[in-house]
Structure 1
Amino acid sequence: MRLLLMSDTHLPRRAKRLPDALLDELPRADVVFHAGDWVDAATLDLLESRSRRLIGVYGNNDGPGLRARLPEVAYAELDGLRFGVVHETGSARGREARCAARFPGLDVLVFGHSHIPWDSTAPGGLRLLNPGSPTDRRRRPYPTYLTAEIEGGTLAGVTLHRLPRREDGVR
């Protein structure tokens, strides 16, 4: 099972549209995750129409329309792995322990907010993944997203993808 993970798209504030490389991944993904800060409903509509399965949450920059359509926290079981998605997890310091306590029973937590890619494992085995942002790199040298595979009930092949710094307005 192939996964595509993104967050913090901030459209159309940070870019005019999603990068082509990210859009090209949509048909290859069995499940698409978006960890909030969509900003516009058009991006949600696009991902809903082009994804086999979309699991998303709202973020702190998402208004009432998106909050009416998306939960604050989402959960899914995929091939025996228990996933959670949330926008904010607080500061990097103590993140693993804090998330393990807040989300007991999960195998993987997908989150966003910082625009900084993150891949770590908490004591007890919770895997924490932040795909960064495909449209607003902030203090990073490049915009990013993640792909991963689930093979035999195990998360495998987690890959951070770098996008061009400028593609149709990507900052």
Structure 2
Amino acid sequence: MRLLLMSDTHLPKRAREIPAPLLAELPRADVVVHAGDWVDTATLDLLESRSHRLLGVYGNNDGPGLRARLPEVARADLDGLRLGVIHETGAAQGRDQRCAERFPDLDVLVFGHSHIPWDTTAATGLRLLNPGSPTDRRRQPHCTYMTATVTAGRLADVVLHRLPPRVPR
């Protein structure tokens, strides 16, 4: 099972559209995960229409329309892997322990908010992944997203992908 992970698209505020290389990944993914801060419902509509399966949550910049359609926390069993999605996890310091205590029933937690890619494993075994942002790099050198695979309840092949610089508006 192939996963495509993204967060913090902030469309059309930070960019006009999802970058073409990321759109090209959609049909290859069995599950698309978006960890919040969509900003517009058109992005949700697009991902719903082009994804085999979409697992998403709302973020702090998402208004009533998105909050009506998306949960704050999403969970799914993916071939035996217990995956969760949330937008905010708080400060980087203590994140692993804090999330492990809050989500003891998960194997993987995908989150966003910071726009900073993150890949760690808590002492309990909980894997924490932040794919960064494909449209708003903020203090990062590149816009990013992640891909991964799930086989027999195990996460593998986690790759952080850098996107080419976009042309300013």
Q: TM-score range by the shorter chain?
A: over 0.9
- Supply the distance in 2 between the matched residues of 1:162 and 1:120 (Cα, whole angstroms): 19
CA contact (8 A) 2:39 2:63 kept: yes
What are the Cα deviations for residues 133-157 of structure 1, in whole angstroms up to 9, with x where unaligned? 0000000001000000012221000
Report SS of the residue matched to 1:44. helix
- Supply the distance in 2 between the matched residues of 1:51 and 1:32 (Cα, whole angstroms): 6
| Change beyond 3 A, Cα 1:132–1:67 | same
Structure 1 position 66, deviation (Å): 0.3
Q: List runs of 5+ in structure 1 lacking aligned partners.
A: none
Structure 1 position 168, deviation (Å): 6.6
2:131 maps to 131
Q: TM-score, normalised by structure 1?
A: 0.97
Structure 1 position 105, deviation (Å): 1.1
What are the Cα deviations for residues 29-83 of structure 1, in whole angstroms up to 9, with x where unaligned? 0000000000000000000000000000000000000000000000000010101
Q: TM-score, normalised by structure 2?
A: 0.98
Q: List runs of 5+ in structure 2 lacking aligned partners.
A: none
Counterpart code for 2:151: E
Once the two structures are superposed, the pairs formed by residues 98-113 of structure 1 within 5 Å of their partners are: 98-113=98-113
Q: Which runs of 4+ in 1 moved over 6 A?
A: none
Once the two structures are superposed, the pairs formed by residues 30-109 of structure 1 within 5 Å of their partners are: 30-109=30-109
Once the two structures are superposed, the pairs formed by residues 5-44 of structure 1 within 5 Å of their partners are: 5-44=5-44
Aligned residue-pair number: 169
CA contact (8 A) 2:81 2:152 kept: no
Percentage of pairs with the same residue: 77
Report SS of the residue matched to 2:45. helix
- Supply the distance in 2 between the matched residues of 1:167 and 1:22 (Cα, whole angstroms): 16
